[in-house]
Amino acid sequence: MTVLDLGCGPGFFTIELAQMVGKSGRVIAADLQEGMLQKLRDKIQGTELEERITLHKCEENKIGLPEDADFILAFYMVHEIPHQEEFLNEIKSILKSNGHLFIVEPPFHVSKTEFEEMVKKAKDARFTPVESPKVLFSMTVILKKGPQ
């Protein structure tokens, strides 16, 4: 399995994800800030996880990933994207068939109405909500990629 940790920051979830995918899996840790990627690089350097984790620097308004992912984690970051429709369309092009996008948003930055609008935009982009797992102090949705 290939997992994209989008907006990975210093790798809070990246390392756990790399352990979960096992030796045959990969995690692509993507962030806009080189400093965050450097922190993660320092954490994994010289460990067995270094082989499973690929660091990717996003462009200002584009993820720019040259490969596909089975699962994408977007933790506390979608609300920061100014053009969410374009973002969701790019996500759709990155996800493999039947791939899943897990969006987690903080209620102290995103209102319930804003989150519902985010989910509506995802539906408009042909994603199907399949689950809303409980994450402490968060609003969540797992979306499945629909037909093109």
Predicted confidence band at 148 (pLDDT cuts at 50, 70, 90)? low
Stronger pLDDT, 26 or 67, i.e. the higher one: 26
14: CB partners within 8 A, 6+ apart: 5, 8, 27, 29, 40, 53
At 146 the pLDDT is: 81
Mean of pLDDT values over 26-34:
97
Map tokens 């990969």 to a residue.
26
At 30 the pLDDT is: 97
Kind plus residue range of the DSSP H or E element containing 18? helix 14-21
At 97 the pLDDT is: 92
CA–CA separation, 69 vs 18, rounded Å?
14
Considering only the C-alpha atoms of the chain, give the largest distance between any 2 of them, rounded to a whole number of Å: 45
Residue 54 reports pLDDT greater than 90: yes
Q: Which domains does the chain have, with CATH numbers?
A: 2-145 (3.40.50.150)
